Amino acid sequence: MIDMAGRRGRALVLLAALVSGIGGLSVLRVSATSAQALVADLSSHLIAISTGFVGTEVVLFGATDGPGEVAVVVLGPKSQVTVRRKERVAGIWMNRHRVTFDQVPSYYAVATSRSLESLAPPAVLARHEIGIGHLPLVPAAADGVDEVLAAPFRAALIREKQREGLYGVGDGQVVFLGQRLFRTTISFPAEVATGAYSVGVFLIRDGDVVSAQTTPLIVNKIGISAGISEVAQRQPLLYGLAAVAAAAAIGWLAGALMGRL
C-alpha cells in the first residue's frame, strides 16, 4: 500500500513539472515506502548527440517537504588530465613542466537557490563537492607534485574548462515556484563528452545537508556520428586513411571546380 507521504511526494513533483510547462515527462522514480524530504527528476535522462549537435538543455524539477535551500551538482565522466606549462628557452616556447590530475570530471555544473557562501560552511560544501573550489582535483601520485606546486596548474585546468563552457556555477539559478516546488535548467555545450553523468540534488537547512538524491543522465552519440566515432576508436588506422582520402578528394574537387571558373 502506498502511504500518504509517498502520494504527496509524487503529486508535488508532478505539479512542479506541470507548472513549469515541461513536455515529455520521464517516469518518476519516487520511493513510496517512506516520507521523503526531497524528490526530483529530469525532463529527459538521455542526451542524444547526432550530426550537427550544437548543445542542449535539460530541465530538473522537484519538491521539498518544507522550507530550505537547494543545490544541484552535475558531474560528467571522470578521466586523467595532464596540464602543461610552456616556458621560453633560447627564444623557443617549450613545454617544461606538467602536472597530471586524476579523476577530473569532464563536465561540472552547479546551480543553487542562493549564493554558495550563504548556503553552508565550506566544510559542508567540500564534503558534497558543491562548488568548483571544492572539487578534489588531486595530482597523480606518480608525479610527486605537492599541493603548492600543483595550485597554478589546477587553476589553469579550471580556467580552460570554464572557457569551453564545461565548468560553471549559477547562483540563484534554482528557482522556487512557491515555498516547495523548484526547477532549474542545465545547459550542455556542443563539446560535452559522452558517457554516464550524475545529477545530485541537495536540500540544505541551517547550513547542513538534510536530504540528497542522485539521478542518472546518459549522453550518447546516435546515427552517423556514432558510427564514425566507433570506427575512429576501434580501427584508428582505417579511420585515418579514410580521412586522408576524403580530404584529398575534396581538394581535387575544389581544384577542378576552380579551374572551370
Beta strand spans in 90-222 (E): 92-105, 108-112, 138-139, 167-171, 175-177, 181-188, 195-205, 208-221
How confident is the model over 198-224, as a mean pLDDT? 90
What 8-state DSSP symbol labels residue 142? Answer: G
Task: State the pLDDT confidence band at 58, using cuts at 50, 70 and 90.
Answer: very high
pLDDT of residue 171: 84
How confident is the model over 248-252, as a mean pLDDT? 61
Residues forming beta bridges with residue 169, ordered by sequence position: 110
How confident is the model over 125-136, as a mean pLDDT? 93
CA-nearest of 120, 118, 111, 146 to 40 is: 111
Residue 84 has pLDDT above 90, yes or no: no
d(CA 13, CA 26) in angstroms, rounded, equals 12
Task: State the pLDDT confidence band at 31, using cuts at 50, 70 and 90.
Answer: very low
What 8-state DSSP symbol labels residue 192? Answer: P
d(CA 261, CA 241) in angstroms, rounded, equals 31
Listed by start position, the domains of the chain span: 4-221, 223-261
- Selected residue with higher pLDDT from 133 and 257: 133
Residue 124 has pLDDT above 50, yes or no: yes
d(CA 200, CA 142) in angstroms, rounded, equals 31
What 8-state DSSP symbol labels residue 25? Answer: P
Residue 180 has pLDDT above 80, yes or no: yes
Burial of 59 (0-12, 13-18, 19+ CB in 10 A): middle
20 three-class SS: helix
Residue 188 has pLDDT above 90, yes or no: yes
How confident is the model over 215-219, as a mean pLDDT? 94
Residue 140 has pLDDT above 70, yes or no: yes
pLDDT of residue 252: 62
Q: Is 4-221 in CATH node 2.60.40.1930?
A: yes
Residue 134 has pLDDT above 70, yes or no: yes
pLDDT of residue 13: 47
Residue 59 has pLDDT above 70, yes or no: yes
- Selected residue with higher pLDDT from 40 and 26: 40
Task: For residue range 73-82, list pLDDT tens digits in order.
Answer: 999 999 999 9
Q: Are 109 and 71 contacting, i.e. CB atoms less than 8 angstroms apart?
A: no
